[in-house]
C-alpha cells in the first residue's frame, strides 16, 4: 500500500462553477440537471473533488463528455482558476498550504518546474507555426534554462524518445499528423523533467495503431523516469491499460474511485457498471 508521505499532489474539495450560482445551488444537496442549476443556469463543472496522487503512479480519470475532466486538469495546471478548494504539492521544496492562493508569478514557477501538461487539443499545447525544437526550448526557457546547446540537446533527446525523426525537428507541428503532434506535446511536457505529468485525452482521435504507440510510450516514460501522472480519458479501455488507480467522474463529481482492477471487477455505481460492461 501507499504511504501518505509518498503523496506528490493532494486535492481537497475542489470545485469550479461557470456562473454566479444562486441560493438554490449553493446547497450541496441541490438537484441539478446534469451539472447545471435549473434556476440560474450556472454550470457546476467540477464539484467537491478530492484525491491524492502518489509518487510514480498513474492515476486515471474516466467519465463521459462534459463530466468535468478537462476543467479539473486545467485547474491543476493553473489555466483555469478554481472556485473553491485546496491544492498541495508536498514534494515541492517551497510547499505552500494551498497553491491556489499563491501569486501568479509563483503559480507560473510551479507550472514550469513541477508540472508538464499534454492538452486534449494540441493547439493549446503547441505553437503550430514554430518548430518542435522551438516549442521545447520555450518550455525550457520558462523553467530558467538559458544554455542554447543544452536546450537543443534536450530537445533532441526527447524528440528521439517520442520517435519524432530528428531530421524533422525544425519543421512546424502544423505539418505533422495528430499522433505526431501529441508526441511533440509529450516531449515538450517532459523536457524539464517535471515530477508530475498531466495528460488529457492524449490518444483521442488517433488511429488504433498510433494510439497503441502513444500508450506504450506513456508506460515506458512512467517505468523509466518514475514520473507521477494523471491520465484523463473517456475510454475505460485506455484507463485499464495504463492506470493503477482510477476515479470515475459524472456531472462534475467523483462517483467512484479505487484500484483500477477492483473497479473493473466489481463496479459499484450504476454508471460505472455501464462503462465496464461496454468494454467487456
Ligand atoms: N469556459 C467555460 N464556460 C462555461 N462552461 C464551461 C467552460 N468550460 C467548460 N464548461 C462546461 O463545463 C463542463 C465540463 O466540461 P469539460 O470540458 O471539463 O468536460 P470533459 O469531461 O473534459 O468533456 P470531454 O470528454 O468532452 O472533453 C461542461 O458542461 C462544459 O460545457
Ligand atoms: Mg475534455
Ligand atoms: Zn443556481
Kindly report, residue by residue over 236-261, the tens digit of the pLDDT.
999 999 999 999 999 999 999 999 99
Range(s) within the chain of domains with CATH label 3.40.50.300: 4-114+194-279
Would the pLDDT of 5 be above 80?
no
Report the distance separating Cα 193 and Cα 165, nearest Å.
21
Q: What spacing in Å lies between the alpha carbon of 82 and ligand 3's midpoint?
A: 18
Mean pLDDT of the chain: 94
Q: How far is CA 36 from CA 23, 61, 65, 234, 247, in A?
A: 14, 21, 14, 20, 21
Residue 28 confidence class, pLDDT cut points 50, 70, 90: confident
With a CB cutoff of 8 Å and minimum separation 6, the contacts of 226 are 55, 56
Predicted pLDDT at 2: 60
Q: What spacing in Å lies between the alpha carbon of 44 and ligand 1's midpoint?
A: 10
Displacement of CA 134 from its chain's centroid (Å): 23
Per DSSP, 33 falls in state B
In this structure, CATH architecture of domain 4-114+194-279 = 3-Layer(aba) Sandwich (3.40)
Would the pLDDT of 43 be above 60?
yes
Which of 86, 33, 255 lies closest to 95, judged by CA? 86
Atom 6 in ligand 1: which residue has the minimum CA distance?
18
40-49, 91-100, 127-136, 261-270: which has the minimum mean pLDDT? 91-100
Q: Which ligand is nearest to the CA of 18?
A: 1
Find the DSSP H helices in 115-147: 122-125, 132-142
Predicted pLDDT at 91: 87
Q: CB within 6 Å of ligand 1 — which residues?
A: 18, 35, 43, 45, 63, 65-71, 120, 234
The DSSP bridge pattern shows strands 253-259 and 245-250 to be antiparallel
Report the distance separating Cα 229 and Cα 53, nearest Å.
8
Atom 25 in ligand 1: which residue has the minimum CA distance?
65
Q: What average pLDDT does range 125-152 have in this prediction?
A: 96
Atom 27 in ligand 1: which residue has the minimum CA distance?
65
Residue 25 · residue 44 · CB < 8 Å: yes
Q: What spacing in Å lies between the alpha carbon of 66 and ligand 2's midpoint?
A: 7
Q: Which ligand is nearest to the CA of 41?
A: 3
Q: What spacing in Å lies between the alpha carbon of 161 and ligand 1's midpoint?
A: 32
Would the pLDDT of 1 be above 60?
no
Find the DSSP H helices in the chain: 23-26, 69-76, 104-114, 122-125, 132-142, 148-161, 178-190, 208-225, 236-242, 260-265, 270-279
Residue 113 · residue 106 · CB < 8 Å: no
Q: Which ligand is nearest to the CA of 32?
A: 3
Predicted pLDDT at 243: 97
Predicted pLDDT at 210: 82
Predicted pLDDT at 42: 98
Q: Which ligand is nearest to the CA of 66?
A: 1
Q: What average pLDDT does range 63-78 have in this prediction?
A: 97
Atom 26 in ligand 1: which residue has the minimum CA distance?
65
Residue 77 confidence class, pLDDT cut points 50, 70, 90: very high
With a CB cutoff of 8 Å and minimum separation 6, the contacts of 76 are 9, 11, 87, 115, 198, 230
Q: What average pLDDT does range 8-23 have in this prediction?
A: 97
Residue 147 confidence class, pLDDT cut points 50, 70, 90: very high
Among the atoms of ligand 1, which is closest to the Cα of residue 249? Answer: 21
Sign of CA dihedral 198, 201, 205, 206: positive
Q: What average pLDDT does range 90-103 have in this prediction?
A: 91
Residue 257 · residue 247 · CB < 8 Å: yes
Would the pLDDT of 63 be above 80?
yes
Ligand 1: residue of 15, 67, 118, 233 to mutate (most ligand atoms within 8 A of CB) is 67
Predicted pLDDT at 3: 60
Q: What spacing in Å lies between the alpha carbon of 55 and ligand 3's midpoint?
A: 38
2-6, 57-61, 167-171, 245-249: which has the minimum mean pLDDT? 2-6
49-63, 148-162, 198-212: which has the minimum mean pLDDT? 198-212
Report the distance separating Cα 147 and Cα 141, nearest Å.
9
Q: What spacing in Å lies between the alpha carbon of 111 and ligand 2's midpoint?
A: 20
Would the pLDDT of 17 be above 70?
yes
Amino acid at each position: 500500500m501507499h504511504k501518505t508521505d509518498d503523496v506528490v499532489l493532494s486535492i481537497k474539495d475542489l470545485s469550479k462553477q461557470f456562473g454566479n450560482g444562486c441560493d438554490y445551488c449553493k446547497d450541496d444537496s441541490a438537484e441539478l440537471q446534469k451539472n447545471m442549476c435549473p434556476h440560474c443556469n450556472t454550470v457546476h463543472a467540477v464539484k467537491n473533488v478530492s484525491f491524492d496522487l502518489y509518487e510514480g503512479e498513474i492515476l486515471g480519470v474516466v467519465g463521459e463528455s462534459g463530466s468535468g475532466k478537462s476543467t479539473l486538469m486545467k485547474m491543476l495546471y493553473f489555466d483555469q482558476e478554481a472556485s473553491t478548494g485546496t491544492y498541495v504539492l508536498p514534494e515541492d521544496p517551497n510547499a505552500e498550504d494551498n497553491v491556489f492562493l499563491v501569486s501568479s508569478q509563483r503559480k507560473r514557477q510551479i507550472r514550469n518546474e513541477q508540472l508538464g501538461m499534454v492538452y486534449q487539443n494540441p493547439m493549446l499545447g503547441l505553437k503550430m507555426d514554430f518548430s518542435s525544437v522551438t516549442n521545447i526550448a520555450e518550455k525550457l526557457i520558462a523553467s530558467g534554462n538559458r544554455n542554447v546547446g543544452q536546450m537543443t540537446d534536450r530537445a533532441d533527446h526527447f524528440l528521439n524518445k517520442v520517435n519524432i525523426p530528428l531530421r524533422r525537428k525544425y519543421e512546424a507541428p502544423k505539418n505533422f499528423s495528430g499522433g505526431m503532434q501529441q508526441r511533440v506535446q509529450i516531449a515538450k511536457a517532459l523536457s524539464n523533467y517535471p515530477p508530475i505529468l498531466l495528460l488529457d485525452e492524449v490518444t483521442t482521435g488517433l488511429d488504433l495503431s498510433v494510439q497503441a504507440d502513444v500508450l506504450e510510450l506513456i508506460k515506458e516514460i512512467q517505468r523509466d523516469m518514475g514520473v507521477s501522472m494523471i491520465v484523463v480519458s473517456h475510454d475505460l479501455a485506455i484507463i485499464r491499460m495504463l492506470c493503477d488507480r482510477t476515479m470515475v467522474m459524472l456531472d462534475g463529481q467523483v462517483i467512484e474511485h479505487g484500484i483500477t482492477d477492483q473497479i473493473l471487477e466489481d463496479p459499484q455505481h450504476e454508471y460505472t457498471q455501464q462503462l465496464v460492461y461496454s468494454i467487456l
